[in-house]
Amino acid sequence: MSRSLPKDETKKALELVRHLEKQPEAKPFLKPLDYKALNLLDYPEIIKKPMDLSTLKKNLKSSVYKDFEEFIGDLQLIWSNCKAYNPPDSVFTQHADAMEAHMNNLLKSLPSKRPREDSLEFHHRVEFSEKLRLVSHNVVAQVVEVISRSCPAAIVQLPQEKLQMKVTEIDSQTFKSCLQ
């Protein structure tokens, strides 16, 4: 029998998605991007796993996620994909940043039934993601170097010399070494 997200966690995740859908910046993330209609023909080359809020809800209702962290990984993927495809100063990147901030604030306010260590580590990963966006390129390069050596599955090479870091994929030991 495959493990799936418990009903109370699924309910919590659906409430989180519904709240995010109501945000003024949510419009670009509500449905899958119709890249063909928008003539963004390089989109599938750059974004290997598209994600949006409606797909996320379908996955929750279909019991796709085995744990809450996997759900959060796909939620974070929405914002990461947007930032990987669009320039840093675009309105879409600004919306992704705002939605990510909404998500992080909501996550901090949610009660957790996970064991204290897991919850603490998850909180540290969210905090790490936020802080990584604020440091210099040299520091980011050093962190990417450490993660590339220790946990290569957490780094995804994108076209145009871009990288995507999957914080939920970083093993605990590598994650702790990045925090030092």
pLDDT digits (tens, 9 = 90+) for 39-70: 999 999 999 999 999 999 999 999 999 988 89
**Rounded average pLDDT over 141-145:** 80
> Where residue 123 falls among pLDDT bands split at 50, 70, 90?
low
Domains of the chain: 7-113 (1.20.920.10)
Record the pTM: 0.67
Contacts of 55 (CB under 8 A, 6+ apart): 32
Query: Distance (Å, rounded) from C-alpha 39 to C-alpha 33?
Result: 11
The answer to whether residues 77 and 84 touch, using CB atoms and an 8 Å cutoff, is: no
> Where residue 144 falls among pLDDT bands split at 50, 70, 90?
confident
Degrees to nearest 5, angle at CA 70 with 64 and 71: 70
What is the pLDDT of the chain when averaged over all its residues? 84
Q: Which residues lie across from 162 on neighbouring strands?
A: 158
pLDDT at 104 over 70: yes
